[in-house]
A and B are shown apart, each in its own frame.
Chain A
Amino acid sequence: MSKMWSFCGTLAFAAAVAVTAQAQDMRAPEGPIEFTVGAGAGGSPDVIMRTIAQIMNEEGIVENPIVIQNRSGAGHSNAYNHVLGLPGDENTLLTMASPVFTTPIVQGTPSVVDQVTPIAGFIQSELMLLTTPDSPWGSLTDMVTAATAEPGRVRVAGGASGGNDHIATGLIETAAGITLTYIPHESGGAARATFLGGNVELHFATLAEGMEQIAAGTAKPLAILSEVRRSEEALANVPTAKEQGVDVVYTQFWGVAGPAGLDPAVAAWWADKFRKATETQTWQDGLKANMQLGQFYALDEAGAYFKAEQETFRTVLTKIGLAK
Chain B
Amino acid sequence: MRKLEMVPALFMIAASLAVILGTAGLAVWDGFTPGARFFPLFVGGVGLLLAALLLWQQWRGADTGLVDRPGRDALVRVGLTVVALVALSAGAPVIGLVPMLAVFALFLLLVVLRQRLLPSVVTAAVIAGGTHVVFVRLLSVPLPAPFGL
Contact = CB atoms under 8 A, between A and B. Distances in A.
Question: In the complex, is A directly touching B at CB under 8 Å?
Answer: yes
Interface of A: 34, 67, 69, 181
B32 A181 contact: yes
A181 B32 CA distance: 10
Contacts of A67: 140, 142
5 contacts: A34-B142, A67-B140, A67-B142, A69-B142, A181-B32
- B contacts with A: majority SS: loop
Contacts of A34: 142
A69 B142 CA distance: 9
Contacts of B140: 67
B123 to A, nearest CB: 31
Interface residues of B, number: 3
Nearest to A67: B140
A181 B140 CA distance: 45
Contacts of B32: 181
A34 B142 CA distance: 10
A306 to B, nearest CB: 27
B76 to A, nearest CB: 37
Contacts of A69: 142
Contacts of B142: 34, 67, 69
A39 to B, nearest CB: 18
B139 to A, nearest CB: 12
5 smallest CB-CB distances across A and B, nearest first, come from A69-B142, A67-B140, A181-B32, A34-B142, A67-B142
A67 B141 CA distance: 10
Interface in B112-140: 140
B31 to A, nearest CB: 8
A67 B32 CA distance: 46
A67 B140 CA distance: 10
A173 to B, nearest CB: 14
A69 B140 CA distance: 11
A34 B140 CA distance: 12
Nearest to A32: B142
Contacts of A181: 32
A69 B32 CA distance: 40
